[in-house]
Structure formats: structure tokens, C-alpha cells
Structure 1
Amino acid sequence: MTAVPVVIVGAGPTGLTAATLLAQYGVECLILERWDSIYPQPRAVALDDEVHRILARLGLGGEFAAISRPHLGLRLLDRDMRVLAEFRRDVASGRHGYPQGSMFDQPELEAILRGNLARYDSATLRGNAEVTALIQDGGGVRVEFTDTATGAPGSVHAAYVLGCDGANSLTRSSIGASMRDLGFTQRWLVIDVATEADLDQWEGVHQLSDPARAGTYMRIGETRYRWEFQLRPGETADDYRDPARLHPLISPWTGTLPVAELAIIRTAEYTFRAQLADRWRDRRVFLLGDAAHLTPPFIGQGMCAGLRDAMNLAWKLAGVLDGTLAETVLDTYEIERGHHAHAMIKLARFIGTAMTAGGELGNLIRRAVAPRLHLVPGLKKLATDSQTPPLRRSELVTRPRLRRNLAGRLCPNAIIDSDLRFDDVAAGRFAIVTSVEPSAAQRAELTRQGAVVVSAAPGSELHRWLRRGHAQAAIVRPDGTVLAAARQLASLIEPSRCSG
């Protein structure tokens, strides 16, 4: 039987990201995907600058920028299309060097992910391979699959398996995990349209807060647009396949543009859910992406969460496989990502409820409150800032129990020198960011541990970041997360501290 260190089930954005990150560390992996090519319909359409940063780590920062559009933020509209509130984002460059929000077409993203993965000899993508069983033994996992083109059975033995196989995950059921409902279920109509005409709309996300039918509009490409409308009881997507029936829904944005100039790419029904797997791991099998969590789309974090899963786990798994990290570090994956994903799901659920619930009373409240939201201290920053919550305490996040510091947060991908940013210098290794010059002995110890020293020069972005965190130095993990921060550099430089 063929053996490979890692098998990845599913070649969506999460699986492709995990495979590429592992390949960058020299880890051989096999991706098994039941379809023979990219799924042609767009699903995810938005990501933030933290995830754009992950794509840049894969070597796709520029390619993604070429296929995406920065979006301006969020507008809240009433049923008469009047603007109730507007929250603008920085479309130039956030703390990580990329627009705080970007829109894209998922098939295009998957195409560049696949093209990039092909650069690595250590990663193999096999299509038409439907995984049918995962059987764990003392030394790993036997993965059984069927060639969907020929019907021929196959199997491979893996040291570890990453289940990136979506909401109906076989990997999840194979480890006896189940989805825990977090109390949000809504049926929505999703409409994707292509047109050469410019709709001449504000290029952010439009949220229609209409008690009769909540809706969302966004431009996702040069010629691509998306609408989402909440379905009423008894309605289905089939009711809107006829363009004449569909047009009244989207006409507030298309105006007098003839239906003939709109190419309907898709009308589909989606059930927006808030769910979290009750466990993400069984020994050598891990869940990532939609297999582990489902997030309502109101803050554009569904796909983002999967790429964060991959970024969190890949470097730890690579370290365990090459012997530089103890296997216990894999316990931190669910501790860190489970809490973070839960926090983002709760935020999406809250935003969705606030925008769509309450009927006429809710509508009256929104009309009264929304225009005054900008007066609430800190709310505009909360609504536009792409920064997500810090990771929970773990073996790899050493944060004081009685106070918060930089530990668990992402280090900014700040400019270090000329065109170099933090990630260019750290290059997927542990780094010490310090506002003081290490002594010769300290540098020798850091070099022995394999850590990169990044100087936070006075007045620099990193220097200001350390000062805001009341720290002189911070240890930054290969995924950009702060492991620990301290008021004195010396207290961070301990044997094995930067090597796991």
C-alpha cells in the first residue's frame, strides 16, 4: 500500500491552502478530490486582509489582487433604498499591507491556488477520487477511496489526515463528531449575474434591512454581481428561475437596464447556518473548514475561517513530522481555532439577526438607530476594523491569566526595510520582534534556536505596536501569531522557547 505523510480530503480553498503550506515546509501530501475539476459556481465571494496575507504567504498576493476588487465597506439601506448608515473600510492598505476587504470569484481563486500548488513536487492532487472510509491504526490512517470515473477502488496509508471535505464531511462522521447548532437558520436565495453594463452602484456591500425581504448586494468582479435575498415561507429558488420573476428583486440596483443585458449565472437556495463541530480531532485525523464550522455569511468569514484553520495547523504538523516539535502541540489546534471560530460565528449571527429580524418593529428600530450609530464611541472602528479576536491561551499562546497582552494576536505584516514586510523577513519561522538591540549572547541563543531577529526601530509601525501592547519584545510564531510578549527582552530568551 502506498504511504504518504499527509492525506488531505477535499481540494477546495482550505485543502489547497493546507497542501501548499505543507509543501512549503517540504512535507509530502496527497489531496483526494471527488470532482475532476474546479467546481464552476461561485460560493465564497469575500475575504479580509488577514486572509489576503495568508494568500501572500502562499505566493499569491499579487495574483489574488489581480482577480479581486477592494470593497469600500458596508451600507445599511431601508426598504426604500435610503442609506441608514455607512461604514467605510481602508481600500488601500490595512495593517497587513492589503485592502481590509476584497471581493472575488471563487472559481478564479481556486484556479490560481491549483496553479500555484503545481509548482511543488511534494504535493499531488488527484481528482475523481471519492474517499469512502478512514480507518485508524497505531501508526496512522488507512484512507480508502473510489475512482469515480472507473469505479476502481484504491487506498493509501497516511501518518495524518486533514478533512477539508465541506459541510457534509465524511471525515467528520468517520471520527464520530457532529455539528452543534448555535441557533441560527435562515433560507436565502443567492443570485449571481454577469453583465458588461456598469450598474453604477457604491462599491461596498449593500445590506437591505427590509422586514418583508432582507437582502444583500455586492459587486464581486469586473462583470460579476451577487444578490442574496431571504426567502419567505413556502418559496424556493425555482420560483425565481424566470428572469421576469427575478428582475423585480434586483431592479433597485439595475434600474432601467433591460433583462436581456443580464446573464443569470445562477439562482440557488442556500440555508445559512451557525454550527460548530463538537470535536475537531480524533488522534491523527483533523477537521478543517466547513467540516468543522459553518458561519452565516453576513461578515464574509466562512471561507476565511477555513484558511485560518490551515494556517494554524500546517506549521505545527510540519514541525511534528520533522521532529522539531512535540506531538502535543497538535492539541493546540482545536483549542485555538475552535474558540476563534466560535467568536466569529457569534458575531455573524448577531449581525445577521440585527439586520434581518424583528419584523416591522425591528425595521422601525433600525430606522431610528442606524443613522446615529456613528455617534457611538468606537462603533465605527468595530464595524470597519478587520482585526479578529486573539487566540485562546494554549501551549503556544502564553498569555497572563489576569491581563491581556499581545499574545494570541497577529503581528502586523509591517514594512521592515524598503519593500520588505515582516512575513518576507520571518519567512515562516519563529521570530523575535524587539525594540532593543539584543546582546551578543542573546543573539547567539536566538540563532541556536533558529529564530529570526526583527528590529522594531523607533517610530516604526512595529515599534508602535509593541508600545501599544506594553511590550519590549514578542515571540512571533511561523503563522504570524504572537506566542508571548514581555516588558523585557531577556525574559523571552529561554532555551527551547522559540523552538516549541
Structure 2
Amino acid sequence: MENEIFDVVQIGYGPVGQTMAALLGKAGHNVAVFERWPETFNLPRAATFDHEIMRIFQDIGFAEKLEEKLVPVRNYLWVNGNRDVLLRIPYGGVDISGWENGYLMYQPEVEQALDETVKSYPTVEVNQGWVAENFIELDDYVEVTLRKGVVHAPGQWAPTNETRTVRARYLIGADGANSFTRNKLGIQSDNLGFESDFLVVDILPNDPLILSHLPEAYQVCDPKRPTTVISRLGTQHIRFEFMLLPGETKEELLDDEKIKSLLREWISPEQGTLIRKAVYRFSSNIAQTWQKDNIFLIGDAAHVTPPFMGQGMCTGIRDAKNLAWKLDLVLRNEAEKSLLESYTVERYDHCKGLVQMAIQLGKIICISDEKEVEARDQAFLSGNVPPFPDMPILTKGILHNNLNHEISSPVGELSLQGFVKYQGNVGRFDDVVTQGWTIISPKTDPRSVLSDSQIAQLEQIGMSFVHVSGEDNNNVVYDLHGKYEDYFNKRGVEAVIVRPDFYNFAAVTSLADLSSVVDDLLFQLHIKNSETII
């Protein structure tokens, strides 16, 4: 319908855009997605994602189905030119999110699963083969003009005479590093100082046994040619990344004979099929703001990170999860629009921290000066290097500050998801108990220390109240492996408030303090009084 106003129009449908559309569709909002290409991309780009992203996929509802196509990361080795081990980055095992620390994937399989999930929601329409040409901001909505296109050959999109104009309360630009949305808004990006060209080669081996003879994830810090090898790009494929050296051209590296010579150390031509070759510029950019009025940027439209931590797609999916729960409250008229201003506040610093970590790793990997290489190798081999940095946490935004106006652990950190038993069901907490806003206490039902008014307002935003216990009682959530008991005891807290994006809003050392913390939450969320909602 020409006059229909969607809740959200989204430009772009890569994995970040797919996640955003799925989250909004699950919440029941009317979403129209437009994507330039008529089909999801059938070749891999990203190679890995972490436990937090798997929990988000669990939230959407397809994590267990996807799991059989993934390979948990066990070892990530850095070696020098002599193949001496410089660094073993710890991977493997179940992390705080209830999933393996990291996974290797074949991206088309992930996108296919996301696509099927998005299209299962009746309130989401996906329009593939459309490009945005213009948008204008009006008082109560954004009006977007789009044009239909056709693909005459791979990668060659051509416009037709068919156009469409749609309106939405909010517009989301999930349209990649060359974002039309960002450029149209005139938002500038800051270059954080790292650029390097790499040849990316993906191989489908003829015999799966070849995979067992290659390192799982291998970073060759060789000044002669910094190289990345990932032998588990999903369950069947191999990824190689070769840095271009000074004086080399893109055309030179894309030559098949050159590629064969680069692969010779790892795999011979007759052992596999080349399915993709491309030269990418690994860069580091971050948009100065990710919101202008009712328009938002997510994913590569907002930031680009070097791949050395495998956090590019992950960072974009965190954007989607963060923005989705805030839009949900506003679209349901339960929170003031000003809540959305926390999106850039929260995501910018978190993202910038990850980009800077990736840059530092890239600079170590890509050293070419012989003296610097010798000093680097000696430092690593002697153990004279700082420990691998921790993942950044949230430090600003919708978080509870202590009396010193600071956040203290575990606030801003990812919350625990353990295995539990509840009302006869056994599994991960989010599947068995609840998702979304949650207050968890090992002491008692958190409602016992809250007023009726507080409980009503919290229920208005979908808050769940959970008593988790080490006793197998059908009326409480049974902590199967003692993870929650250990979590609360180590941190010295009696309750946590968990946000829908799985970050802790607050933690209290005494349940007696929970009531005042809840008041702070309702204030920060700009929750409308339930009596005033029409």
C-alpha cells in the first residue's frame, strides 16, 4: 500500500541487516527491507564469530540448527618466518554466553539460515533487487525512494524504470562500507590508521582429509609474506589471506599461476578447487555518529575493522541487537524516543576499542622491517609481551553507576547463560526460562523486595523475575552445573539485572538495594507511566 507507514525501513540485507530484520520481526514490528542484489551472496567473506553472537542467533531461534555446520575454534597460533610459535591465543570451551568461545563458519550457510528465519516472520517483507536512490526526513516519518534493478552478469547490477516509494517511522542503513545512507546524511568517518591490501583465496578441497593436515587457524607473521590460514571455513572450505608486498599490483596477485605459487606450501592445485579470489583493502574507519534523528547506521555502514580479531561481522550484529531492543520499546510506545540516543553512546566506544585492538594485532602481524621483526620475535619467544587483551565491555549508556558515579563489575559485562532445569525442561537458560529483560537472584524471587508499582512497570517492558537455585525444585530454576552459584559467589552479588542484549545493567551486593536500582533503570529507560499509555 502506497500510504502505508512501516515501523522500520532497512537498506541492506547482509548478515547484520538480516539479524536486525529478524530481531524486529520476532518482536512483531512491520519492517520493509530493500537489498540491491536479488539473492543472498553465495560466497564467503567473514570467517568466524564468537559466543556472544551465537547467543544472539539463539535468541532469533536457529543456533542449534546452525551449530552442525560450524567448527568450534580450538587453536589460533601465531608463528614467525621460521614457523616458531610466537603466540597461542586461548580458544575452546564453553564461554559465559553458554556457547563455545568461537566458531569458524562458511558465511553463505549462515546467511541462508538467517534468510529463512527473517522470511518466516509475517511482519517483515524482504525486497531483493532494489537500490535506494533518495530519502527525505519529514515530521513523523522518513520517505525512501527505491529503484528496481536486474543483474545481467555476476556483480553487474542495472537499473530498470520501476520505482517504489515507502515511508517508515525509522530508517536503518545496513548498506555496507560504501553506505548510501551514511553518505546521503553527510556523516564523516574517521580513519583510525590502518590500511593494508590482502589477497583472499578460498579453496574447496577434493578430499576432506586434507583439512586435518592443515592448521586450524594459523597466523604467519613472516616479513616475506604475512599470511593467514584458516583450514576450517565451516566444515568443508579453506581460507588463505596473503598480504600484498610493496610494488605488487592487484592484477599480479589475482593471476592464477601466482596464486598457485602462494598456495604451494599449503596445498597443491590438484588437491582442491579455487572457488573465490579477491583483493581487499583491510582498513579501519568509524563514523562520527551512528544516528541522525530517525535514521541509524549499523554494521559496516558505521564502522570497518581489520579482520585480525574476527570481529567485523560480530561488531555489526552487536549493533543490531543493541538498537533492536531500544527500538522495540519506543515502537511499542513504552519508552520515550530519547532512549534511542543511547545507541551511539553505547556502541561507539565498544566498537572503537575492538577496532583499535585489531589494529594493534595487525601492526604486529604485518611488520616488514627485519630489525623490528627480530625484536618482535625475541619478545614473544621470551614471553616478554603483555597478555592478550580482554574484550571491551560497555562503559557508557543504560548502565547503573555506583555511589562514585562509576560502573563496577559485573555491570557492563556480558551476563551468564548456564544450563538449567525448569518445569521439567532442561537446556540453556534463554531457551528454558526466558529471554529479554531479566532479574536473576540466587536468594529468592526478586519480586519479594519490589513494590507492586515497580513490578507493574517492569512487567510493562517484559521483565522476568527469576530465582535460580542449587536445589532441584520445580518452582525455581535449577542450576544444573552450579554455574550461577559460582558466578554470584565470585562477584559477591545477590542479584543482577540483565538487558535484552545480555549485558548486565546492574548488580547488587544485597537484595535490599534492588528497589532503588530498579528505580534507576525505569528512569534511564524513560519508561512511560503505565497509566498514561493509550
Q: Residue 262 of structure 2 corresponds to which residue in structure 1?
A: 249
Q: Mark the CA change 1:227 to 1:397 in structure 2 (over 3 Å): closer, same or farther.
A: farther
User: What amino acid maps onto 1:462 in structure 2?
Assistant: Y
Alignment correspondent of 2:396 = 393
- The alpha-carbon deviation at position 95 of structure 1 amounts to 2.0
Q: Are 2:282 and 1:279 aligned?
A: no
1:426 touches 1:452 (CA, 8 Å); kept in 2?
no
> What is the aligned counterpart of 1:224 among 215, 224, 237?
237
- AA aligned to 1:407 is V
Secondary structure of the structure 2 residue equivalent to 1:134: strand
Rounded to whole Å, the distance in 2 between the matches of 1:94 and 1:122 is 34
State the partner residue of 1:453.
465
**Alpha-carbon offset, residue 203 of structure 1:** 4.5
Matched, 1:209 2:211: no
CA distance in 2, matches of 1:2, 1:246: 52
1:435 correspondence with 2:442 = yes
Q: Distance in 1 between matches of 2:246 and 2:385?
A: 36
User: Which residue of structure 2 lines up, in the alignment, with residue 420 of structure 1?
Assistant: 427
Written as runs of structure 1 = structure 2, the 5 A alignment for 1:140-159 is 140-149=141-150, 150-159=160-169
| Equivalent residue runs for 1:292-303 within 5 Å | 292-303=302-313
- Partners of 2:372 and 2:440 in 1: how far apart? 48
Counterpart in 2 of 1:464?
A: 486
Secondary structure of 2:213 counterpart = coil
- The offset of 1:428, in angstroms, is 3.3
**Residue from 184, 195, 200 that aligns with 1:185:** 195
Which digits, 9 at most, give the CA deviation of each residue in 1:288-336, with x for residues without a partner? 0000000100000000001000010101101101011221111111111
1:132-171 → structure 2 map (5 Å cutoff): 132-149=133-150, 150-171=160-181
Unaligned runs of 5+ in 1: none
- Residues 1:488 and 2:502 are matched in the alignment: no
Instruction: Note if contact 2:450-2:514 (Cα within 8 Å) is conserved in structure 1.
Output: no
Counterparts in 2 of 1:498 and 1:431: CA distance versus 1, 3 Å: farther
Counterpart of 2:34 (choices 32, 35, 59) is: 32
Out of 420-429 and 349-358, give the one that drifted further.
420-429
* Contact 1:95-1:413 within 8 A present in 2 as well: yes
Cα distance between partner residues in 1 of 2:90 and 2:449: 44
Q: Is the 8 A contact 2:106 2:235 kept in 1?
A: no
Task: For residue 493 of structure 1, give the secondary structure of its aligned residue in structure 2.
Answer: helix
**TM-score of the two chains, using structure 1 as the length reference:** 0.92
- CA deviations on 1:100-140 (whole Å, 9 max, x unpaired) are 11111111111110011111101110011101112101101
Deviation, 1:350, is 0.6
TM superposition shift of 1:460: 2.7
Relative to structure 1, the CA distance from residue 397 to residue 234 in structure 2 (aligned partners, 3 Å threshold; closer, same or farther) is farther
Mapped contact 1:11–1:33 kept (Cα < 8 A): yes
Residues 213 and 7 (structure 1), Cα distance of their counterparts in 2 relative to 1, 3 Å cut: same
The answer to whether the 8 A contact 2:440-2:465 is kept is: yes
Per the alignment, in what secondary structure is the counterpart of residue 114 of structure 1? helix
What is residue 497 of structure 2 aligned with on the other side?
475
- Distance across 2 between alignment mates of 1:401 and 1:313: 25
Structure 1 residues 88 and 251: alpha-carbon distance in aligned structure 2, compared to 1, 3 A threshold:
farther
Shift of residue 142, structure 1, vs aligned partner = 0.4
Q: 1: distance between equivalents of 2:243 and 2:254?
A: 16
Task: Give the secondary structure class of the aligned counterpart of 2:469.
Answer: coil
- Compute the TM-score of the two structures, normalised by the length of structure 2: 0.87
Q: Is the 8 A contact 1:237 1:269 kept in 2?
A: yes
Aligned residue pairs, count: 489
Question: How many percent of aligned residue pairs carry the same amino acid?
Answer: 29
Tell me how far apart the structure 2 counterparts of residues 398 and 326 of structure 1 sit (CA, whole Å).
21
Tell me the CA shift for residue 337 of structure 1: 0.5
